[in-house]
């Protein structure tokens, strides 16, 4: 960014542009792919091997509409798989935390009711 005097938005517009083949941009894409791989591995999802592709953010509705911006991202099926796994992981972690909390919290004891006191003494 400093070398080209660009901000983050300009840099990532170039990152997402499939026609930008500047070696620094290609290297940034490679760094992102390596970071994605490291995160997937950290979750233990070594069976996933998504490869980022350039695709339009949305489809133009008619030919007069300006084309949507490009995005370099995983295909939708891969994004859906990762999201489903994250949601499942979140649900199971929530259940584990709830069970641990329930186990750590002592069961509430029913308060002892005072024994009824007769208004009239039994023994005088």
Beta-bridged to residue 55, according to DSSP, are: 71
Predicted pLDDT at 36: 98
Q: What is the mean pLDDT of residues 62-68?
A: 85
Per-residue pLDDT band for 118 (boundaries 50, 70, 90) equals low
CA neighbor of 24 nearest in space, from 10, 37, 36, 38:
10
| 107 secondary structure, DSSP code | P
Tally Cβ neighbours within 10 Å of residue 15.
Answer: 19
pLDDT over threshold 80, residue 76: yes
User: How does the average pLDDT of the chain come out, rounded?
Assistant: 89
Beta-bridged to residue 56, according to DSSP, are: 70
pLDDT over threshold 70, residue 96: yes
Q: What is the mean pLDDT of residues 1-27?
A: 94
98-112, pLDDT tens digit by residue?
Answer: 999 888 877 666 666
Domain residue ranges in the chain: 8-101
What predicted TM-score, i.e. pTM, was given to this entire model? 0.74
Per-residue pLDDT band for 10 (boundaries 50, 70, 90) equals very high
């Amino acid at each position: 960014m400093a070398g080209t005097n660009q901000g983050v938005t300009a840099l990532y517009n170039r990152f997402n542009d499939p026609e930008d083949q500047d070696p620094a941009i290609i290297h940034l894409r490679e760094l992102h792919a390596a970071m994605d791989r490291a995160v997937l591995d950290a979750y233990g999802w070594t069976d996933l091997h998504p490869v980022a592709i350039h695709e339009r953010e949305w489809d133009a509705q008619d030919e007069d509409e300006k084309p949507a911006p490009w995005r370099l991202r995983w295909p939708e099926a891969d994004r859906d798989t990762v999201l489903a796994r994250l949601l499942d992981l979140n649900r199971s972690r929530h259940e584990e935390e709830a069970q641990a909390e329930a186990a750590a919290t002592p069961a509430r004891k029913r308060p002892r009711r005072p024994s009824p006191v007769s208004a009239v003494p039994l023994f005088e």
